[in-house]
Amino acid sequence: MCVENTPPPSNRLTRRGVLAGAAALAGTSAVLAGTAPAASASSGARHGSPGRGGDLVVEGGRLLDPATGEVTEDAVVVIAGGVVRAAGPRGQVGRVPGGVPVLRAHGQWILPGLVDAHIHLNTAAEARDAVLKGATSARSGSTNFYQDIAVRELARQAPEQAPRLRAAGVFVTPDLGDTILADPDLAPLARLRDGVRSADALRRVVEVNLARGADTIKTRVNERAGLPEQDPLVQVYDHEQLSTIVAAARRRGKGVLCHSYSEKGCHDAVTAGIRSLEHGAFVGERTLHEMRRRGTYFTPTLTAIAGLAESSDPVLAERGRTYLPVLKRAVLAAHELGVPLAAGTDSSGGTVDPIGREVELMHAAGLSALDAIRTATTGAAKLLGFDSTAGRLARGFAGDVLVVDGDPLADLGVLSRPARVVRAGFAVPAAA
């Protein structure tokens, strides 16, 4: 059974009208009332560029640049309109503007805000929590009803309330469940007895996501680890189906992140051309070589697998205990081969894990402290296409800052307990 070739989503004009109205409300109609269709208006470089923001001077702490590993004593970071205008040793940053709020960081360390490359932000509270816990940029691992598309806009309108976001829309998976209600254009898929498996059905979910403005596409090759009744080594899509999804995303210039566990599944996903492998506990050497050749990212979500080990469900706890050491070995093997790594917590369901915890786990897997920090700064920023915006504090980058109470190169634990978080030049209070 295939899906009828019905026209693409018909509500673009309506949505643009609503957006224009909202922009006028916020006094930004010149910015949003463009002529591009909704999908292209909400994708591309504009989301990667620092937008409106606050003015702030952070001064007195030690500044760590993850790109070079350089530490600057008694540093000053000048942020204007949410963008770093200068960062460096006092005396070399030029005149610090008067009348601007100052955040004193004497005795503390200053880093760029961190990037969570795999997080599920289904509520405004989760979006706020992610920022408070240090993730000032993020990539969505899908949401049930396109909340991530709205979170991305929230981040532009009120940056202190949400991480700068790459949205994934809804999960491309055989059984959409309640997500079938996320968009009327998904409804024809409800008639499929076998779920979303045919090329037509797979393309439709991708296309509805892209029409809604998704920046990336999330799919899976294996079942879930977090459900005791599922076997994460069972494959749900084959190489051909994954290739269909990748091709549909690529037609609009988008990449695919793929939930994967088994080596065969990882290999099928990577050779189908995904942009990043998610979880990937049993990824083998041949696939890692292929990832290195293609530049495919690895987002191991160690935090989520470590979390399984603490589950009250005995099946999940056993799974977590078995998978975590295997995954850590895979992370180290990937790093040693030169496969790019990105930190992601896979937080979902109301609890946001600090992205600093993932950095600690990367270090526990065998990366140096600086390389572990890079997985949540320069490395993840590059994966998200935020590499000229996030991951560093240098002129032109976003004014997203973490102030921590100690040397992160000596104790990465400080990243999970930021003393202050600055998002686009706005200082937000630390998490309780």
Q: How far is the CB of 352 from Zn ion (least distance, A)?
A: 13
* Strands ordered across the beta sheet of 109-112: 71-72, 62-64, 109-112, 401-404, 420-423, 426-428
C-alpha 221/C-alpha 269 separation (Å) is 7
> Pairing state of beta strands 164-166 and 83-89?
unpaired
CB of 143 to Zn ion, least distance (A): 10
* CA 8 – CA 248 distance, rounded (Å): 14
Q: Give the nearer residue to Zn ion in terms of CB position, either 3 or 304.
A: 304
Q: Which of residues 135-164 bind Zn ion (CB under 5 A)?
A: 141
Which residues share a beta bridge with 241?
Answer: none
Closer to Zn ion at the Cβ: 263 or 346?
346
Q: In the complex with Zn ion, which residue's Cβ is closer, 215 or 346?
A: 346
Cα distance between residue 277 and residue 260, in whole Å:
7
CA 401/CA 217 separation, integer angstroms: 28
Site for Zn ion in 169-198 (CB under 5 A): none
Tokens coding 171: 């999960």
Q: How far is the CB of 172 from Zn ion (least distance, A)?
A: 13
Q: Which is nearer to Zn ion, 103 or 217 (CB)?
A: 217
Please identify, using beta-carbon distances, which residue of 121 and 424 lies nearer to Zn ion.
121
CB of 262 closer than 8 Å to CB of 277: no
Q: Is 112 in the site for Zn ion (CB under 5 A)?
A: no
| Cβ contacts of 99 within 8 Å, gap of 6 or more | none
Q: Find the shortest distance in angstroms from Cβ 141 to Zn ion.
A: 4
Strands 297-299, 276-279: pairing kind: parallel
Minimum CB separation of residue 348 from Zn ion in Å reads: 6
Q: Which residue is nearest to Zn ion (CB)?
A: 141
d(Cα 110, Cα 194) in Å, to the nearest integer?
Answer: 52
Considering only residues 315 to 374 of the shown chain, the ones binding Zn ion according to CB under 5 A are 346
Closer to Zn ion by CB, 78 or 343: give it.
Answer: 343
What Cα–Cα distance (Å) separates residue 431 from each residue in 129, 135, 192?
8, 12, 45
Q: Which is nearer to Zn ion, 171 or 426 (CB)?
A: 171
Shortest separation between residue 302's beta carbon and Zn ion, angstroms: 13
The Cβ-side half-sphere exposure at 122, using a 13 Å CA radius, reads 15
**Minimum CB distance to Zn ion, residue 46 (Å):** 26
What residues make contact with Zn ion under the rule CB under 5 A?
141, 346
